[in-house]
Structure 1
Amino acid sequence: MTRNRASALLALAVVTGLVACFWCRGERVLAANGPTFDEPVHLAAGYSYWATGSFRLNPEHPPLLKLLWAAPLVFGDRPPYPHDVARETNNDHWHIGNAFLFQSGRAPNELLSPARRVNLALGCGVVLLVGWWAFRLWNSRISGIGAVGFAVCDPNLLALSCILSTDIGLTLFTVLACYLVWEYTAAPSRGLLVGAGVALGLALGAKFSALAVALGLGAAGIVFVLRGGRLALPNAPADVPRGRALAEFAFRLGVIALVTLAATYGFVHFDQWGRGLKFQLTRADHGDGMMYLNGELSRSGWYHYFLVLLPLKLPLGLFVGTLLVGTTGRLLRAPRIAFLLVPAVVFFALASYSRVDLGIRVVLPVLPFLYVFAAGLASGACCRAAGTALLVLCLAWAGISAARGDPHPIAYFNELAGGSRGGLRFVADSNVDWGQGLPALKAYLDANGPDVIYLSYFGTDRLEAYGIRYQPLPAYGRVGEPGGELVPADARHVVVVSANNLLGIYLNDPGTFAWLRDREPTAILAGSLYVFDLTSDVEAVQRLRVLPAK
């Protein structure tokens, strides 16, 4: 066996081990976290597309990923679809999702876990793709392993791979489209052109914000040509002006993407894409509630939100590695690097401009470009031996930090933020609390009591599914009446408040729980549920007992 072959096999073994680690950590996340806010709707919508042949349910998100998530149920033990609820509620997706996941006669996890594993497989695809791109870009197996390591050690990628969120599919297809165009610039071929167009079409079929990906690729093409590159159709005459050649390439790529996108709607339902896009462009008119940053609430958001967020949510090992490579400037001189940097910058800029400040998931497609970039530490961008040592240190730092967030990576914050409790001072929403914490609450109550609690829960998971007894407080997300019971006057008075409700982000009165915010919680569960024992505080108990359920 040659030395080169042995090195390749060793690299393959390491990558396989890292991907296996990512999957195993994902399985722990699946078991430890309940349904997040939108998951019942997404799963029911995908199942409805198979069951009814219509794409009418939940049109504000494209159907591609929802179809994939529901496929294990459709081709497995098909649960009943709640047609009666759909008729009674005029196709209200919240009630349909609630009925499908919680009233089918099966445990919610039996329906949810197979669908989540589809997303976890897409997350593994991202891990492998960034490793391959880093290997090709830096011509270094160590860099390829480094990119895989950064991806595996990012709690944000893991968290969004383990729930039914469209962001991970968008991320995979975005990176694939950019990578294939990057390869195309070195060796144009019809196969790479078709592959890039299909990947871009799948990104547009995953999430409407993929329009920013298309703009980013266009901007990257312009930068590439202005810096002396040539982007033309395969076998195009060399004397065709570069601007015209670029336009012909972009047109062909766009046609392939458009046909692919139409195919995700079965062609005949393609008009639904336009309706969904219109909803997203006018989403402020539909009332998305408040957004939160640095202790302030706003309905319009902030242009600098993601600039504040990324240094708090990214593992610092990844952040430092990216800065170290960026300071060398060596990589920036190559024209082809436009397809690594420009789409990410354009996507980030447009996400910031949109001010849809709901969490790091909005800019998730930017993160894989950082994994590839930071892996350049080992490529000789600086001294090769020193760079490899720095890469190992950054990966170890990222890995140790990530382990602290398991098995609740949604609420991960790095050391700069001070963990999930510290991070809540700066940002909230799906960065911390997406309704995932009821399994952790059930385990806590089984171990510590009491039998009945005061509860303000943010989310659409069903407390009845866990046997949790509670007196409802003002909350957000529950489908149907709040239910519950009264806490006996002579019992322990324990109140549990979701992080988003504690901050009042979606409540009618944002100050409902302001009096609790400075108290030290007895426990923080899943990073998102704050437990306070107020038994000895008579005044606080009186406050609780007069709060309405809504």
Structure 2
Amino acid sequence: MTRNRASILLTLAAVAGFVAWFWCRGEQFLAANGPTFDEPVHLAAGYSYWVTGSFRLNREDPPLLKMLWAAPLVFGEHPPYPYDVARETNNDHWHVGDAFFFHSDRPPRELLAPARRVNLALGVCVVLLTGWWAFRLWNSRLAGIGAAGFAVCDPNLLALSCVLSTDIGLTLFALLACYLVWEYVAAPSRGLLVGAGAALGLALGAKFSALAVVLGLGTAGAVFVLMGGRLALPNTPPDVSRGRALIEFAFRLGLIALVALAATYGFVHFDQWGSGLKFQLTRAAHGDGMMYLNGELSRTGWYHYFLALFPIKLPLGLFTGALLVVLTSRLVRAPRSAFLFVPAVVFFVLASYSRVDLGIRVVLPVLPFLYIVASGLASRACCHTAGGVLLALCLVWAGVSAARSDPHPIAYFNELAGGPRGGLRFVADSNVDWGQGLPALKAYLDAHGPEVIYLSYFGTDRPEAYGIRYQALPAYGRVGAPGGEFIPADAPRHVVVVSANNLLGIYLNDPDTFAWLRARAPTAILGGSLYVFDLTGDAAVVQHVRTISVK
């Protein structure tokens, strides 16, 4: 008994240590990174739901997570809401978000930090749930520690836990729904059924792509039954056919999910979920921008985008661990494992088919399943005594790689890609540059100068908010007319700073606006997203820069 208690305490201490490291790195992220592209909109929208009682702003995303993010402001200092801007712009969420952030009586980062910590807490829940499922799956405390460790050591999970993106909430609720159904098939109970249905409804209230989770769970249920399992409501008579029992279970689960989803809209506004879904299904008609892969631009994307992305964006320690387990374990053959593998595969396939190639965040719900699988190195069913050593090696490999990316994990790429600079050869957008780099730019200018720069910034943050003086170059994302000033032709230094996405021309009217800079070695790369070029002394190039400056 004493030995078992010591083992439990060591396990709890290890997981607590991982969580503490995850949170500390999250705080470093908050201090070092500015608002990403959509964060002003998401926070302003969530705040508007609370103070106006309407869900009209930013309908293309469900309200649940946005309301959670805004709760610290609503129940805290309660900053003013820009009713006048909302009225004048007919609830244009970009203008409302800009006014809420940059025309408030509080600094933008003070508004953002509490909301980001809410999302960071959701990320911690993903870490803990991943570790718990691994413990239950492999019947090994070491596997539970390993899964939590792989989660903590993934810079992608950390980055998306620290920004107001709906992906981490979807990941948590989808993982919870799959886990509870996995537990249910072993010991059916009304509590697990209600919990799984509620989690599924919350996933649908987090992001519209949760429909892929619904399809994945449905497919997993069918596979489970075909493999000889029985998925039925509690107390279903044994003489009821497995097919009929599955249909009855799916109907009850769906009904619970529907009620939970309607609750996220306060029931009376539930019709707006359909309006938002319609918008997402017709995204192309609303003028989506370019997507980038391996040096090519496309408006339609690629089916193989995520297959090309995973090998360079995931920690190689995680990739190696998961591959070893798949090759050596018999877990795949167990009927119950359908709820571990099938939802992840279905989600990945549907995301690939959708060709919304905006970054690894689109397939974030797949990653916790990889953490759980990789933790199987600690299971006797996998690698016996060598498993613990392999698990430790893979975790250390992933952890060292993750630590190198701090405090800018958005731009993380593994050793195969060669870091952010190498990764930009393959992919861009939110994999690298989400508009988060202005604090790093301010720190660089304070240390190295000059006082005024030429700037092409991708994002909705404002350089003026940091005291950055600049002459504007063609860019994307700024709400309203660009600000800035004018650099004299005889200035002692001429430094150009270009966001990674603008350097590649992804969203610019002319994709080749900065083509002449791409082969030039940057003086510095800030936070993986801002490229600094010192052009002092190159009169011809400086003249070209001045020619393309935004007047």
| CA deviation profile, 1:444-498 (whole Å, cap 9, x unmatched) | 0000000110000000001110010000000000001101111122220000000
Is the partner of 2:292 in helix, strand or coil?
strand
Question: Shift in Å at residue 501 of structure 1?
Answer: 0.1
Identify the residue that residue 385 of structure 1 maps to in structure 2: 385
Identify the residue that residue 75 of structure 2 maps to in structure 1: 75
Identify the residue that residue 533 of structure 2 maps to in structure 1: 532
Distance 2:121 2:382 in 1: 35
Identify the residue that residue 233 of structure 1 maps to in structure 2: 233
| CA deviation profile, 1:29-88 (whole Å, cap 9, x unmatched) | 011000000000000000000010000000000000000000000000100000011111
Identify the residue that residue 286 of structure 2 maps to in structure 1: 286
Question: Shift in Å at residue 435 of structure 1?
Answer: 0.1
Question: Shift in Å at residue 329 of structure 1?
Answer: 4.0
Do residues 169 (structure 1) and 183 (structure 2) align? no
Identify the residue that residue 199 of structure 1 maps to in structure 2: 199
Identify the residue that residue 515 of structure 1 maps to in structure 2: 516
Q: Which letter maps to 2:486?
A: L
Q: Which letter maps to 1:124?
A: V
Identify the residue that residue 338 of structure 2 maps to in structure 1: 338
Is the partner of 1:455 in helix, strand or coil?
strand
Distance 1:18 1:230 in 2: 37
Q: Which letter maps to 1:100?
A: F
| CA deviation profile, 1:410-435 (whole Å, cap 9, x unmatched) | 00000000000000000000000000
| Number of residue equivalences | 550
Distance 1:332 1:287 in 2: 42
Is the partner of 1:101 in helix, strand or coil?
helix
**Greater than 6 Å deviation, 4+ residue runs:** none
Identify the residue that residue 545 of structure 1 maps to in structure 2: 546
> Structure 2: which 5+ residue stretches go unaligned?
none
Distance 2:386 2:329 in 1: 17
Question: Shift in Å at residue 382 of structure 1?
Answer: 3.0
Identify the residue that residue 496 of structure 1 maps to in structure 2: 497
| CA deviation profile, 1:346-401 (whole Å, cap 9, x unmatched) | 00000000000000000000000000000000102333210110000000000000
Identify the residue that residue 87 of structure 2 maps to in structure 1: 87
Identify the residue that residue 324 of structure 1 maps to in structure 2: 324
Q: TM-score, normalised by structure 2?
A: 0.99
Q: Which letter maps to 1:469?
A: R
Q: Which letter maps to 1:509?
A: D
Is the partner of 2:385 in helix, strand or coil?
helix
Identify the residue that residue 35 of structure 2 maps to in structure 1: 35
Q: TM-score, normalised by structure 1?
A: 0.99
Q: Is 1:460–1:478's contact at 8 Å kept on the other side of the alignment?
A: yes
Distance 1:457 1:123 in 2: 29
Q: Is 1:116–1:162's contact at 8 Å kept on the other side of the alignment?
A: yes
Is the partner of 1:230 in helix, strand or coil?
coil
Distance 1:434 1:94 in 2: 16
Is the partner of 1:95 in helix, strand or coil?
helix
Q: Is 1:130–1:148's contact at 8 Å kept on the other side of the alignment?
A: yes
| CA deviation profile, 1:300-335 (whole Å, cap 9, x unmatched) | 000000000011110000000010001014111110
1:451-490 map, 5 Å = 451-490=451-490
Identify the residue that residue 48 of structure 1 maps to in structure 2: 48
Q: Is 1:325–1:381's contact at 8 Å kept on the other side of the alignment?
A: no
Q: Which letter maps to 1:493?
A: H
Is the partner of 1:384 in helix, strand or coil?
coil
Distance 1:477 1:98 in 2: 11
Q: Which letter maps to 2:476?
A: Y
1:23-422 map, 5 Å = 23-422=23-422
Distance 2:451 2:490 in 1: 12
| CA deviation profile, 1:71-128 (whole Å, cap 9, x unmatched) | 0000001000000111111111001101101111111111100000000000000000
Do residues 9 (structure 1) and 9 (structure 2) align? yes
Q: Is 1:117–1:162's contact at 8 Å kept on the other side of the alignment?
A: yes
Distance 1:302 1:136 in 2: 37
Q: Is 2:321–2:377's contact at 8 Å kept on the other side of the alignment?
A: yes
Distance 1:414 1:487 in 2: 39
CA-atom RMSD in angstroms: 0.7
Distance 2:488 2:534 in 1: 15
Q: Is 1:174–1:203's contact at 8 Å kept on the other side of the alignment?
A: yes
Is the partner of 2:332 in helix, strand or coil?
helix
Question: Shift in Å at residue 132 of structure 1?
Answer: 0.1
Is the partner of 1:203 in helix, strand or coil?
helix
Q: Is 2:329–2:382's contact at 8 Å kept on the other side of the alignment?
A: no
Moved more, 281-290 or 376-385: 376-385
Q: Is 1:218–1:250's contact at 8 Å kept on the other side of the alignment?
A: yes
Q: Is 1:381–1:387's contact at 8 Å kept on the other side of the alignment?
A: no
Distance 1:463 1:374 in 2: 42
